[in-house]
Structure 1
Amino acid sequence: MSSSLTLSDVTFTWPDGAPAFDRLSLTLGTGRTGLVGTNGSGKSTLLRLLAGELRPTTGSITTPGELGYLPQNLVLDTGRRVDDVLGVTAIRAAIRAVEDGSATEEHFATIGDNWDVEERIRAILDRLGLEAVRLDRLAGELSGGELTLLGLAALLLRRPAALLLDEPTNNLDLRARELVHREVAGWGGILVVVSHDRELLRLVDRIAEVRDHEVTLYGGNLADYEHAVEVAQEAARRHVRAAESDVKRQKRELVEAGIKLARRARYGQQMWDRKREPKVRMRKRQEDAQIAAGKYRNLHTDRLEGAVEALKAAEELVREDAEIRVELPETTVARGTDVLRIDAVPRFGPAVDLHVMGPERIALTGPNGSGKTTLLRTIAGELPPKSGEVGLFVPARLLPQRIDALDDTLSIVDNVRLVAPSLTDNEIRARLARFLFRGKAADREVASLSGGERFRAALATLLLTEPTPRLLLLDEPTNNLDLASVRRLTEALLAYRGTLIVASHDRPFLADIGITRWLPLRD
């Protein structure tokens, strides 16, 4: 039995012919591996290949034994009982038969070495914060976060040789995230986790980056990986600068060579006109000069072409790392300006007494179900409060968790045109360019965008809406965004000059955007 997950010359192509991986060879041994890459790069595809959900087009995959796989969008039959989800219904029934004195050989075979299964279940559920969940309860009675933790508990109970987790902390509140972090930190076997959760990625032993249909391994955690990439990128940028200088030099030398050859040609013509030498010798001299000139010109042309190729090769090593630029002076909120006053009870959640002034940046925290989304929707005017008042003194916009405010059938430009009718086409395109939608990219249909691109388009549309929002309400904005998209969102929010209220469990993100006040909500 193999002691590692091994891919040998694996090629995988989707039915429509789109390539995912081409002759990929990779070995992942004992320890925690963080799988990172931009949205759509193939992280989940690689995990599904490892889990056996997808079969490689060519090549082979070797596993160390039973695998435990937790998909990103875990779907459980809500009519199933918890013990059925955990896969222990038959074992529990067999143990009851033994206790009742009605056991058969089949019951003992079902139990095997699992006499302590209920104790182990209870220990795992307690460890994952599910101490109140009864085994006879229906899965449909649990929250989305509890279902994710239950799915993880089912894997841990099986004690697999390798654990494969796809975005296990998505949509989990802070406490649940910490519990998953603890399980990952304590895992002693092979673990591969796809995640953009930076706190979780600080716990891994290596990073596997999926990029351009290839996988590159980096030793150490997220910080080590980011440092290694930055060192490599700085070296690549130096190569580009050196290659650009060489191209300029070769162009200059080619021009100088042309001037020199032109001078020689004029001198030769003058000698011919004066006929100071016999014609045979002059014709031979002219032929020799033409051959030499051709070689000289070809030499400099080849050097220039080589320099241009070297520049292209150097540029390919530099990653696209453009930054979002938000230049909307009308979003500025002067210090001391009244932005929001709340003295109300939202439809779902606790009473809120809040006064927001000036360009504050408020983090809305609390467990899932504590009313964060309801409060944001109440501030935005989408929900009336159960009682009390909400006073909003500046234009406000809400970016919800589910980015469904865009019209999928329209282009990015046309979506912005709907909310900013006074802007000309050139003005819209100039502003979309600041969000990295340049040229034809702004004409793409929203339905064709990746998750990160869709988020950028939604953020651009939100900020370009008339009147421009001076209070921005964000509901779990980093969910489902890759690390690069989170960096770009952070850049955009740092450039925003209005007031922010952000509901998020992503503590590094909240720290990076300069939160000035924390508002915890409780059940």
Structure 2
Amino acid sequence: MSHAPTHVTCSDLSFEWPDGTPVLDGFHWTVGPGRTGLIGLNGCGKSTLLKLIAGELRVAAGQISVAGSVGYLPQDVTLDTGARVDEVLGIRDTRTALHAIEAGEATEANFAAVGDDWDVEERALATLDQLGLARIGLDRTVGELSGGEGVLLRLAALLLARPDVLLLDEPTNNLDLRARRRLYAAVESWTGVMVLVSHDRELLDRVDQIADLREGEVRWYGGNFTDYEALLAAEQEAAERMVRVAEGDVQRQKRELSEAQMKLARRKRYGQKMYDNKREPKIVMGARKRAAQESAGKHRIMHTEKLTEAKERLDQAVEAVRDDAEIRIELPATQVPPGRRVLTMTDLHLPHGARVSGTWELRGPERIALVGGNGSGKTTLLRTIAGLAPPSSGEAVTHVPTRYLPQRLDVLDDGRTVAENVARFAPHATNNVIRARLAHFLFRGGRADREAGTLSGGERFRAALAALLLAEPAPQLLMLDEPTNNLDLASVRQLTGALESYEGALVVASHDVPFLESIGITRWLLLDGELRSTTAEEVRESHWEH
């Protein structure tokens, strides 16, 4: 780490997608040492901001200043399956030179390649051990690792490089519980500048401050995510109280304006009566009438202005109250009667060794949590049930309409709009019906006409979920594979709300235990070589994650 003050500064930053959709406009932000949790609704620009800072995207206007070196872990880590571990760690050339010197090839080129890094192997192995990867060694190829191990290996390369600024985008995606704990420890021990985008509450409770990106601006909150929620709740309570006060003020101003108009009308009638009866000289009555009209005009303007000001205060108060819309759906066709057979698995053996012995059944609207370590075969099992992958032996039979939402959300055609994608799954539904249903998934108006390829992670998930739940026939068995990956915390709440109204059977493979507990799981199943029952408590205390 460098000893100079390290920071990232964004000045008057602007960025838009090729189709003209603006993401950031005149954006200003400075982040210094410490662990910063960057949060915000899906589509607000969190991942885009990290890519801009990392140099993965080019700004349209403004500038980014970084004091120090930058390390970046993207949401979707893709590694060359043929590469060796030491290549990914960036130390292969140094190791090769080191081994050559040890074998007697003391050339100037080899000494130059090693430089001062004589303990590179020890440091690399220590870093791998810190992240629970000691067993993989430095000579294996990436193709031999699981997806979660690949994420940790990329993180190990960053930790080994010791950048001044570390950017992590949803680093717990695809990590099992044990790997997450290793990541938590690595985050807690970080001493430089860290900007962390995540939906993982436990990870966000390990940061020093929260930066809330909303409508193109950042608001800072000291402390971790739990502190942020407490502060936000207090803010929202105060904001809602201000709305009630402002509403009362608007009503009072309306009453006062109405009363003033009634008084003026009475005065006008009285003046007209006096004029008609000609009880005073004409010149006096004319002057009195002009004065009364002038006074009435001022009075009316004053009360109208007060009402306008009261309405403006109400608008400002309402704007201060957050309205993170929720998915609202009614899916009566998904209902499964209690006791109805939904899924049967018989002596099922999967290609990588996992199995379901004997006969296993799912009946009625059960909610199954499928848990297990990375590489245990959860995704393979779901794909086999969905008919997308053949078993080695045995069979899986579904007895109701079934839909499967994979981790990669590749059920969508990127070149089609959201509405067109849903129409593919519901060919008999009219365009008006599709748009009305999509509105419940927060795709209103022009949002339904956006191409799937331009959507953020959370928006893409909502579109994919809409396509499956609105499909014909309606799914009575829904299988979700790591559904909270790439979702912000508001979107996780939206997903929880959507699943509350789903009345079919549900199988969810996930490492996100708090999420699983929030959706009313009725049975916990562990896939660890063989499928067996477990409990939420056993999952939390597990040592089978590897």
Tell me the TM-score normalised to structure 2 length: 0.87
Please state how far the C-alpha of 1:160 moved relative to its aligned partner: 2.8
Please state how far the C-alpha of 1:98 moved relative to its aligned partner: 2.7
What's 1:27 paired with?
31
Q: Does 1:198 align with 2:201?
A: yes
Q: Does 1:499 align with 2:501?
A: no
Equivalent of 1:370, from 366, 370, 376? 376
Would the aligned equivalents of 1:68 and 1:163 in 2 still touch at CA under 8 Å? yes
Opposite residue 392 of structure 1, the aligned amino acid is T
- From the superposition, tell whether residues 144 and 384 of structure 1 become closer, same or farther in structure 2 (CA, over 3 Å): closer
1:297-446, aligned counterparts within 5 Å?
Answer: 297-349=300-352, 350-352=354-356, 353-408=359-414, 411-420=417-426, 428-439=434-445, 441-442=447-448, 444-446=450-452
1:280-299, aligned counterparts within 5 Å?
Answer: 280-299=283-302
**CA separation in 2, counterparts of 1:490 and 1:83?**
41
- From the superposition, tell whether residues 417 and 163 of structure 1 become closer, same or farther in structure 2 (CA, over 3 Å): closer
Please state how far the C-alpha of 1:281 moved relative to its aligned partner: 0.8
Equivalent of 1:477, from 477, 483, 490? 483
**CA separation in 2, counterparts of 1:259 and 1:443?**
52
- From the superposition, tell whether residues 432 and 98 of structure 1 become closer, same or farther in structure 2 (CA, over 3 Å): closer
Would the aligned equivalents of 2:478 and 2:505 in 1 still touch at CA under 8 Å? yes
Would the aligned equivalents of 1:23 and 1:59 in 2 still touch at CA under 8 Å? no
What's 1:11 paired with?
13
What's 1:128 paired with?
131
**CA separation in 1, counterparts of 2:384 and 2:185?**
35
Please state how far the C-alpha of 1:288 moved relative to its aligned partner: 0.6
Please state how far the C-alpha of 1:103 moved relative to its aligned partner: 1.0
- From the superposition, tell whether residues 417 and 49 of structure 1 become closer, same or farther in structure 2 (CA, over 3 Å): closer
What's 1:167 paired with?
170
What's 1:95 paired with?
98
Please state how far the C-alpha of 1:94 moved relative to its aligned partner: 2.8
1:37-56, aligned counterparts within 5 Å?
Answer: 37-53=40-56
Please state how far the C-alpha of 1:129 moved relative to its aligned partner: 2.9
**CA separation in 2, counterparts of 1:52 and 1:402?**
25
**CA separation in 2, counterparts of 1:436 and 1:75?**
31
Opposite residue 102 of structure 2, the aligned amino acid is E
Equivalent of 2:239, from 236, 242, 245? 236
**CA separation in 2, counterparts of 1:446 and 1:87?**
35
Please state how far the C-alpha of 1:425 moved relative to its aligned partner: 5.8
For residue 438 of structure 2, give the secondary structure of its aligned residue in structure 1: helix
**CA separation in 2, counterparts of 1:150 and 1:258?**
75
Would the aligned equivalents of 1:10 and 1:60 in 2 still touch at CA under 8 Å? no
What's 1:452 paired with?
458
**CA separation in 2, counterparts of 1:220 and 1:96?**
47
What's 2:538 paired with?
none
**CA separation in 1, counterparts of 2:79 and 2:415?**
32
Opposite residue 324 of structure 2, the aligned amino acid is D
Would the aligned equivalents of 1:71 and 1:166 in 2 still touch at CA under 8 Å? yes
**CA separation in 2, counterparts of 1:199 and 1:438?**
33
Q: Does 1:464 align with 2:467?
A: no
Please state how far the C-alpha of 1:497 moved relative to its aligned partner: 2.4
What's 2:156 paired with?
153
Opposite residue 192 of structure 1, the aligned amino acid is V
Please state how far the C-alpha of 1:487 moved relative to its aligned partner: 0.9
**CA separation in 1, counterparts of 2:228 and 2:423?**
41
Would the aligned equivalents of 2:26 and 2:62 in 1 still touch at CA under 8 Å? no
Would the aligned equivalents of 1:37 and 1:210 in 2 still touch at CA under 8 Å? yes
% identical aligned pairs:
59
Q: Does 1:117 align with 2:123?
A: no
Would the aligned equivalents of 2:125 and 2:137 in 1 still touch at CA under 8 Å? no
**CA separation in 2, counterparts of 1:90 and 1:328?**
58
**CA separation in 1, counterparts of 2:29 and 2:368?**
46
Q: Does 1:58 align with 2:92?
A: no
**CA separation in 2, counterparts of 1:80 and 1:388?**
36
**CA separation in 2, counterparts of 1:511 and 1:28?**
36
For residue 521 of structure 1, give the secondary structure of its aligned residue in structure 2: strand
- From the superposition, tell whether residues 50 and 420 of structure 1 become closer, same or farther in structure 2 (CA, over 3 Å): closer
Opposite residue 497 of structure 1, the aligned amino acid is E
For residue 90 of structure 2, give the secondary structure of its aligned residue in structure 1: coil
Please state how far the C-alpha of 1:70 moved relative to its aligned partner: 2.1
Opposite residue 367 of structure 2, the aligned amino acid is R
Moved more, 224-233 or 461-470: 461-470
For residue 209 of structure 1, give the secondary structure of its aligned residue in structure 2: strand
For residue 151 of structure 1, give the secondary structure of its aligned residue in structure 2: helix
- From the superposition, tell whether residues 79 and 384 of structure 1 become closer, same or farther in structure 2 (CA, over 3 Å): closer
Please state how far the C-alpha of 1:303 moved relative to its aligned partner: 0.9
Would the aligned equivalents of 2:418 and 2:463 in 1 still touch at CA under 8 Å? yes
For residue 480 of structure 1, give the secondary structure of its aligned residue in structure 2: coil
Opposite residue 297 of structure 1, the aligned amino acid is R
Opposite residue 22 of structure 1, the aligned amino acid is G
Moved more, 458-467 or 276-285: 458-467
Would the aligned equivalents of 1:341 and 1:392 in 2 still touch at CA under 8 Å? yes
Opposite residue 494 of structure 1, the aligned amino acid is E
Please state how far the C-alpha of 1:119 moved relative to its aligned partner: 1.4
Please state how far the C-alpha of 1:141 moved relative to its aligned partner: 4.4
Please state how far the C-alpha of 1:450 moved relative to its aligned partner: 3.3
Opposite residue 382 of structure 2, the aligned amino acid is L
For residue 150 of structure 2, give the secondary structure of its aligned residue in structure 1: helix
After superposition, what is the alpha-carbon deviation per residue over 1:377-406, rounded to whole angstroms, capped at 9, x for unaligned? 222333444432334333322222222334
Please state how far the C-alpha of 1:243 moved relative to its aligned partner: 1.7
Moved more, 15-24 or 84-93: 15-24
- From the superposition, tell whether residues 317 and 504 of structure 1 become closer, same or farther in structure 2 (CA, over 3 Å): same
- From the superposition, tell whether residues 54 and 463 of structure 1 become closer, same or farther in structure 2 (CA, over 3 Å): closer
Cα RMSD (Å) = 2.8
What's 2:542 paired with?
none
Moved more, 414-423 or 481-490: 414-423
**CA separation in 2, counterparts of 1:496 and 1:173?**
27
What's 2:259 paired with?
256
**CA separation in 2, counterparts of 1:55 and 1:221?**
31
After superposition, what is the alpha-carbon deviation per residue over 1:135-156, rounded to whole angstroms, capped at 9, x for unaligned? 3334444443333222211122
After superposition, what is the alpha-carbon deviation per residue over 1:462-516, rounded to whole angstroms, capped at 9, x for unaligned? 2232332222111111111111111100111123222210011112111111222
Opposite residue 73 of structure 2, the aligned amino acid is L
**CA separation in 2, counterparts of 1:473 and 1:113?**
53
Moved more, 216-225 or 242-251: 242-251
- From the superposition, tell whether residues 97 and 341 of structure 1 become closer, same or farther in structure 2 (CA, over 3 Å): closer
**CA separation in 1, counterparts of 2:55 and 2:415?**
35
**CA separation in 2, counterparts of 1:52 and 1:405?**
30
- The gaps in structure 1 that reach 5 residues or longer are none
**CA separation in 1, counterparts of 2:42 and 2:329?**
23
- From the superposition, tell whether residues 417 and 257 of structure 1 become closer, same or farther in structure 2 (CA, over 3 Å): farther
**CA separation in 2, counterparts of 1:179 and 1:91?**
27
